[in-house]
Amino acid sequence: MSAASQRTRVLTGITTTGTPHLGNYVGAIKPAIAASQDPSVQSYYFLADLHALIKCQDPRRVQESRLEIAATWLALGLDTDNAIFYRQSDIPEIPELTWMLSCVCAKGLMNRAHAYKAAVAENEAAGNQDPDKGITMGLFGYPVLMAADILMFNAHQVPVGRDQIQHIEMARDIGGRFNHLYKGEFFTLPEAVVDDDVAVLGGLDGRKMSKSYNNTIPLFVSEKKLLKLVRKIKTNSLEPGEPKDPEGCTLFQIYSAFATREEREAMRSEYANGIGWGEVKNRLFEHLDAQLREPRERYQALMEDPGHIESVLLKGAERARAEAAPFMDKLRQAAGLGRFI
C-alpha cells in the first residue's frame, strides 16, 4: 500500500447555487483550506454542481456560482497541489456509481431523508392532496448521489454540520449494503466529523447568515458595498457611553471570527466602556477590509481569467478520475457488468 493511500481521506463538497459569504468562510472554507495544507491528509474538494440542479434550474446562475466559488477557494489559498479540487460533473463515474447504489438502496431509507420529509410536510400543511407535489426525483434521491460522492473516493471523514449527519449515516448504510450483496470490502464506511467550535455567524438581521434569509455579506464585495452592508447590521438601542454586552451581538461575533485573541479582548473592554454602535461598525469594516483586501484582489484577477480556473479544475478532475475510473472497473466486475475478456 502506498503512503498516499494510507493517508486519512477527507472529502468536502460545495454546492454551487450562491455567492460565498462571510458565514461560509468562517464555518467551512477557512478550516477546509487549513486542512488542504496538511500533508498527512488527502483532501478532496469538489464543486457539487450536479447537486445544484436540484434547487436551481437557472443555467446562468449555476454557471456563475461555479466560477465564483472556484475563484473564492483559490483566492483564499486552497492548496491544489496537495488537495484534489474538481467539479463533480467532470467525473462521469459518479453518476454511474449513483445508479449502482440506487439499485441496492431501500426506498424506505430515502423516505426518511430530512429534506424529503420536510417537503412532504410543507405540502400537507398547505392542504395539497398530493403530498409529493413539486418534489423531483433529484430531491428525493440526492442522498444517494451524496453517498456516491463520498464512497467513490473511500473517504474516511466528511466534515458536516449536524443537519447533514443523516446523509453520512445513509452513505454508510448504502455502502455496507453493497459490500454485503457483492461479498467484498469495496467501500470504506465514512465517519461524519462535526466541529462544534466552528462559529455560526449571524447575518444582517441577527438570524443565521444564510442565502435563504437574504441577510448575507458576500466575501468579496467592493469596499464601498462592504461598508454599506456592515452599517446595515441590526443592533439594539443602547446609546454611546452605555455598557454593552458582546454576547449575542452580531457585530462582536463577526469581529471575533476575524480577530486575534488580543483584539477580541480589547473590543470586549470597549463594549464594557460603552463604545457606540457606529464606532463598532467602523472598526468592524476596517478590520474586515484589511483582511480581505489581498484575497479580494486575487479573486478579481481569477474572475477575469476563467481559463486559469478551468485548467486547475481539469487538472483536479484528471487526478480524481485516475482513482475513479479503475475503481469503477472493479465495481462493474463485482456487479456482473465487467468485460467478457
Q: Is 79 annotated as a binding residue?
A: no
Q: Is 17 annotated as a binding residue?
A: yes
Q: Is 2 annotated as a binding residue?
A: no
Q: Is 232 annotated as a binding residue?
A: no
Greatest CA separation for the chain = 83
Q: Is 170 annotated as a binding residue?
A: no
Q: Is 201 annotated as a binding residue?
A: yes
Q: Is 23 annotated as a binding residue?
A: yes
DSSP code for 88: G
Q: Is 36 annotated as a binding residue?
A: no
Q: Is 215 annotated as a binding residue?
A: no
Q: Is 235 annotated as a binding residue?
A: no
| Beta strands, E only, the chain | 8-15, 41-48, 84-87, 157-159, 191-193
Q: Is 12 annotated as a binding residue?
A: no
| Strand partners of residue 157 | 10, 191
Q: Kindly report each contact of residues 33-37 with a partner whose C-beta sits within 8 Å and lies 24 or more positions away, as own/partner.
A: 33/73, 33/76, 33/77, 33/78, 33/79, 35/10, 36/78, 36/79, 36/80, 36/82, 36/83, 37/77, 37/79, 37/82
CA–CA distance, 136 with 238 (Å, rounded to integer): 49
Q: Is 315 annotated as a binding residue?
A: no
Q: Is 183 annotated as a binding residue?
A: no
Q: Is 98 annotated as a binding residue?
A: no
Q: Is 195 annotated as a binding residue?
A: no
- The region that residue 274 occupies, defined by phi over 0 for left and psi between -120 and 50 for alpha, beta otherwise, is left
- Helix axis angle, 277-303 relative to 306-335, nearest 10°? 80
What residues form the annotated binding site for ATP?
Answer: 15-17, 23-24, 161-163, 201, 208-212
What residues form the annotated binding site for L-tryptophan?
Answer: 149
What residues form the annotated binding site?
Answer: 15-17, 23-24, 149, 161-163, 201, 208-212
